[in-house]
Amino acid sequence: MPSCLFFCTINIRTNIRGERKLAKKKTKFVCSGCGYESAKWMGRCPGCGEWNKMVEEVEVIAKGPRGAFQHSATVTQKAIPIIQVEASEESRVATEMGELNRVLGGGIVPGSLVLIGGDPGIGKSTLLLQVSALLSNKGHRVLYISGEESIRQTKLRAERLGVISQELYIYSETNLEFLNQTIEEVQPKFVIVDSIQTVFHPEVTSAPGSVSQVRECTAELMRIAKTKGIAIFLVGHVTKEGQIAGPRILEHMVDTVLYFEGERHHNHRILRSQKNRFGSTNEIAIFEMLQGGLKEVLNPSELFLQERSQGAAGSTIVASMEGTRPILVEIQSLVTPTSFNYPKRMATGVDQNRVQLLMAVLEKRMGLMLQAQDAYIKVAGGVKLDEPAIDLAVLTSIVSSFKDQAVRATDCFVGEVGLTGEVRRVSRIEQRVIEAAKLGFKRVFIPTSNIGGWDFPQGIEIIGVETIKDALNACFREL
């Protein structure tokens, strides 16, 4: 055999072996909670500290960088002083759904990536299909991509909701490459992907919904949104703990994270903002689920108080602030003697640790023996309250049930309670009192430090209290 042919054969084999070596697949273990990667399985993730979150996936060497935001080759970015940057307001597209505009910060920002999560059947697809109809009726082209339903199923649901528009396009596909091609063809202004857990990247060998798939698909959709100026809505599944399924980095990648909450036994739904780069995260939107779809609730206080029991012990009303809007909500308490050594403390809609703290204040400052009492506290209507201004209402509700004495049905309570029993100042007291006056309340208990500097509404009595003893003595006959 000639020497040249011999060396040529060796080189060919070497190249072939090299190609096979590059094509060799490797396995890795990825945490489904935070996305931490490891070469071996571990019971506890070093990144987030969660147990049994490591899942096995196949690692594939990409042909090139994908998913990352690519700048144009003709544009060079340079660092400049911040005073030279021209500030401009983000142009928004306002829908005819005022509650959604409130949560988004005034409307939809072009080029934004919005993630909406919620329990199965809560109404995420219904909400986005109604939003698609409102946008398309205003002349905006909308592409609704469904990975869980066929085109006919989406059409039947659209007919039930009365969604008919020439500018609304429906597409059923889960392959990310085909989705990208369809977006290039349709050239929409808004895109809805239902859901992100069903979309898969063909270059990633793991199953749809895995950590790698969700991360890569979201990164590619983010690139499309930023480079083309398309507002994209993603529907995300949630785990049994109520968090969005997939890696935690998913919520960091998007611009806005919305949670659609509600109970199956109630018709109302709450859309809450957990993250918003273009607005406040304190706003909520309230809807009512009807046969024809979701309907906005313009006055949520009437909705939460319409089934209130008059003259019931353990029931109080608090004026809570949700973003820029005051909402009146009923707090119910049930305090009953226990036959066990350790009494129960259960709370729904309010932090249980805060309930235990307030009960300890009552025992220390008011001398109420609550150590042998079970306490159950609930916020009626399925609302979750987390601001300090609800302390006085929760505390009064507990005492009302313990003494079996009902407070006046026209009383409202606002105030933060300290560990020494003082009632502290709260924010936006004027808006809270005005909302209580609109709904027919006659007395409002507020901190004394909040009195002054504003005009009281007519027909309502303002009672300033400095301590919880002042408030309880004004409510109950004897303590």
Q: What is the pLDDT of residues 282-331, one digit of tens each?
A: 888 999 998 889 999 888 888 888 888 888 999 999 999 988 889 999 99
CATH of the domain at 274: 3.40.50.300
270-277's contacts with Cβ under 8 Å and 24+ in sequence apart are 270/382, 270/383, 271/99, 271/100, 271/103, 271/127, 272/103, 273/103, 273/104, 275/251, 276/103, 276/104, 276/105, 277/112
pTM for the full predicted model: 0.76
Indicate if 350 and 439 belong to the same structural domain.
yes
Q: Are residues 425 and 288 in the same domain?
A: no
Count: domains in the chain = 3
Distance CA 270, CA 384 (A): 10
Query: pLDDT-derived band of residue 24, with 50, 70 and 90 as boundaries?
Result: low
Q: What is the CATH number of the domain that holds 338?
A: 3.30.230.10
Judgement on whether residues 416 and 439 belong to the same structural domain of the protein: yes
Q: Is residue 82 part of a domain?
A: no
Residues 264 and 161 in one domain: yes
pLDDT in tens, 209-255: 888 888 899 999 999 999 999 999 999 988 776 677 666 778 889 99
pLDDT at 306: 82
- Identify whether residues 273 and 152 lie together within a single domain: yes
Q: Domain check: are 46 and 178 in the same one?
A: no
Residues at the annotated binding site?
118-125
Per-residue confidence (pLDDT) for residue 243, from 0 to 100: 73
Asked if 249 and 35 touch (Cβ cutoff 8 Å), the reply is: yes
Flag whether 225 is in a domain: yes
Q: Which of 243, 275, 298 delimits the end of a domain? A: 298
* Residue 264 pLDDT class (50, 70, 90 cuts): low
Higher pLDDT, 363 or 261: 363
Residue 415 belongs to domain spanning: 303-475
DSSP-assigned letters across all residues of 58-90: EE---SS--SSPPPPTT-------GGGSPP-PP
Tokens (6 digits) for 33:
């909670």
The verdict on 311 and 269 lying in the same domain is no
Q: Is 252 among the domain residues?
A: yes
In this model, does residue 421 exceed pLDDT 90? yes
Residue at 16 is within a domain = no
Task: Tell me: do 186 and 332 sit in the same domain.
Answer: no
Question: Is residue 20 in some structural domain?
Answer: no
Handedness of CA 429, 434, 440, 442 (dihedral sign): positive
**Amino acid 9: pLDDT:** 42
Residues 6+ apart with CB under 8 A from 116: 124, 127, 128, 233, 234, 235, 236, 258, 259, 260
102 and 248 belong to one structural domain: yes
204-217: pLDDT as tens digits: 888 888 888 888 99
* Residue numbering of the annotated binding site for ATP: 118-125
| 311 and 331 co-located in one domain | yes
- The pLDDT value recorded for residue 142 is 96
Tell me: pLDDT of 46 over 50: yes
Same-domain status, 227 and 358: no
Q: What is the pLDDT of residue 245?
A: 67
Query: 270 in a domain, yes or no?
Result: yes
End-of-domain residue from the set 298, 326, 342: 298
Residue pointed to by tokens 């500290």: 49
Task: Give the model confidence (pLDDT) of 376-406 as tens digits.
Answer: 999 988 788 989 999 999 999 999 999 999 9
Task: State what percent of residues in the chain have pLDDT above 90.
Answer: 54
pLDDT of residue 59: 62
> Of the given ranges (206-210, 250-254, 368-372, 470-474), which has the lowest mean pLDDT?
206-210
User: Residue 391: inside a domain, yes or no?
Assistant: yes
DSSP codes joined into one string, 423-449: EEP-S-HHHHHHHHHHTT--EEEEEGG
Q: How many helices (H) and strands (E) does the chain have?
A: 12, 21
Using a 10 angstrom Cβ sphere, with 0-12 exposed, 13-18 middle and 19 or more buried, the burial of residue 42 is middle
Residue 86 falls inside a structural domain: no
Whether 242 and 344 map to the same domain: the answer is no
Using the 3D structure, point to which of 298, 318, 344 is the last residue of a domain: 298
